Structure 1
Amino acid sequence: MNDSNGIRWGIIGCGLIAPKFHRSLLNTGEGRVVAAASKSMRRARRLGDKTGIPHLYDSYSRMLEEEDLDAVYIATTHNVHADHALLCLERGIPVLVEKPLTHHASDAERLIRTARARKVFAMEAMWTRFNPSSIRLQQVLADGVIGEVQHMKAEFCVRMPLLAPKMMPWNRMYSPRLAGGALLDLGVYLVAYARMIFGRDPETVESSITPAWTGVDKTTAARFRYPDGAVAEWRCSFREARPRDVVLTGTRGTIHVSLFTGADQFTISRDGEEDSVIHCEKSGFEHEIREVHRDLREGRTESERMPLQESLEIARTMGRVRSSA
């Protein structure tokens, strides 16, 4: 990490999320993407044409062997996150793995064991955890502004037209082979958010799943109950567009977070008082990238805000959602 241009990144997977990561990295001013790899050189070149990434590969292993990389962003489909992260970790290369960390808790355990045994940095790219609004919200809750949180209600629903290409079985969203489905793509944000708010695993999980014709879930709804009586209710779906809102109800008031994944403000309501709007810095991938850079510079092998145990517990809760439906 002695490069005058900052931390040198590689990207594994050249799909739609890769250009967004590239732009966000440039916005930090702290690093650059020096190489990207895809199974298809055509797709790698398409990313190179969009971004100017200089070195392109159709072999993940060859990129890792030939390039001098400080970190790798794993942007492939859910089903191979663990395999591609392990390719890097076994070579001593830190990884930022797109959410979900893996599609099964057993794979998350395998990834985490390897990272810890080799003392190599690894983090799930749960970018919402690092957004300024999320950090400020946690501070407000810790200060007891709305008292004890008793209930969370949240939705993350995105409409996909019946005959749109994204509905076809070769699209990752609806592909069982690629670990598609609303739970893994959208619901993981809601499970992670509940974990952030309540700070622990639910005591009981109740869920219902509506399958798509391909076999993956197109809608999942769940209710988490906690030992102190608190409840989190959430729903994710590919069937319809709905406001991506979170409402937290406490013993002394409520908090409404609009568009929670990219929120830059939230509203506090308390009886007998005017609503208070808390404004925050803009959300984006930049914040999680800066977190990785800080951790690498300071020699940490895990993020304090998104440690690997947190990702493992989220993966385990996702498994409970599937099994209880």
Structure 2
Amino acid sequence: MTQESPLKKIKWGIIGLGRIANQFATDLLTIKDAELYAVASRNQEKADDFAKEYSATKAYDSYEALANDPNIDAVYIATPHTLHKENALLCLENGIAVLGEKPFAMDAEEVEEMITKAKEKNVLLMEALWTYFLPHYQFVLKVLENKTYGNLLKVEADFGFQRLYDTNTRLFDKNLGGGSLLDIGIYPIFATLSTLGLPKNIEASATFFENGADSSCNMTFNYDHDVKAHLKSSLLEVLPTEAIFYCEKGIIKINTMFHMPTTVSILIDGKEEIKDFGYNTIGYNYETIHFNQLIRDGKTESDIMTFEFSRKLIKLLDDVRDIIKLEY
């Protein structure tokens, strides 16, 4: 009996070492055939501390140094939104597969530039919208696709929390793409795009902080047959942060913090059935395992988070921005 050969261990790098990078690194440690090989910050001490905490071999004080390390298979880009394109192009140019945090870039033009470079270099590129890969979300997509409860008639999705306004933090810094739409509004929009597709038209309104970053955004996506999606993002108030799909014969509700590991409720005739997916990680491991397999298979594009889906997602963000007159 021949012994199966071990899977190639994927050596990861991380560019940008903030909160999400910590969560990504935590879950990377749970993946047997992957390792955190290198990290990069513009501050050597921060890079050293991060590397020590997550057992990375290398700690660089520049993104360029990491991108020039020939041992790296894949890079997770977790820098502020405005740097996503620049950092992705740097890694793609060096032949390193790129998993780039959402939003993929600042607008459709930047996203197209990244995709063009990935194709030119024949290197894997994917937007890191982790929700798409979570088992509870894949379950909901399958139920809706199979029309288990009939046609989908309406979507309601929101994401909101309250933080002290502070322009020294990335979340509120308009120069870094801060504000509710790109940071958290992308999730309700994703929930609609992944279930209903592109709308016929969009209605949107927003409120703004004094520096011009959007503090909240209300959106209605209109589809054929009077199907609608009501979406909201806010940095001014705590919202349920649920995604609710109203079908002809029942309601599917992804419970609070719908974008991350959570439960799903099926509501039929006033009765509720709660489905628990037994999560034991933060949830970043699912997209990472998918990405690792794409590398092993020699793929240059995901069959789940496709280039076309990323194009549509950034187009919707651009369309909403045009309506609410939000410019960066």
Q: In which range does the TM-score fall when normalised by the shorter chain?
A: over 0.9
List runs of 5+ in structure 2 lacking aligned partners: none
What amino acid is the match of 1:184? L
State the 1:54 CA deviation.
2.4
Query: What corresponds to 2:322 in structure 1?
Result: 323
2:272 corresponding residue in structure 1? 275
Alignment of 1:27-66 (within 5 A): 27-66=30-69
> Quick check: 1:100–1:184 contact (8 Å CA) kept in 2?
yes
Q: In the aligned structure 2, how far is the partner of 1:143 from the partner of 1:82?
A: 37
Give the 5 Å matches for 1:1-325.
Answer: 6-161=9-164, 167-198=165-196, 200-259=197-256, 260-271=258-269, 274-282=271-279, 284-325=283-324
Asked if 2 retains the 8 angstrom alpha-carbon contact of 1:9 and 1:31, the reply is yes
One-letter amino acid matched to 1:310:
F
Offset of residue 122 of structure 1: 0.6
Q: CA 1:274–1:241 in structure 2 vs 1: closer, same or farther (change >3 Å)?
A: closer
CA distance in 2, matches of 1:170, 1:226: 40
Once residues 66 and 27 of structure 1 are traced to their aligned partners in structure 2, the CA distance between those partners, rounded to angstroms, is: 24
- 2 CA distance for matches of 1:132 and 1:228? 30
RMSD, matched Cα: 1.7
The CA distance in 2 between the partners of 1:13 and 1:323, in whole Å, is: 29
5+ residue gaps, structure 1: 162-166
Distance 1:247 1:149, change over 3 A: same
- Identity among equivalent pairs (%): 30
> Which amino acid is 1:193 matched to?
A
Structure 1 letter corresponding to 2:94: R
> Number of aligned pairs?
317
> Bigger shift: 76-85 or 274-283?
274-283
Q: Which amino acid aligns with 2:174?
A: P
Q: Which amino acid aligns with 2:187?
A: Y
TM-score by length of 1: 0.93
Q: Name the CA shift for 1:309/1:281 in 2 (closer, same or farther; >3 Å).
A: farther
CA change 1:295–1:5 in 2 (3 A) is closer
- Whether the 8 Å contact between 2:261 and 2:283 is mirrored in structure 1 is no
Deviations 1:95-128 (A, max 9, x none): 0001110111110011011112221101111000
Query: 1:164 maps to which residue?
Result: none
**Matched-pair contact (CA < 8 Å) for 2:82–2:106:** yes
What is the TM-score of this pair, normalised by structure 2?
A: 0.92
Q: Structure 1 CA distance, aligned partners of 2:318 and 2:132?
A: 21
CA deviations on 1:211-249 (whole Å, 9 max, x unpaired) are 112210011110001134311111111111121111111
Alpha-carbon distance, 1:140 to partner: 1.0
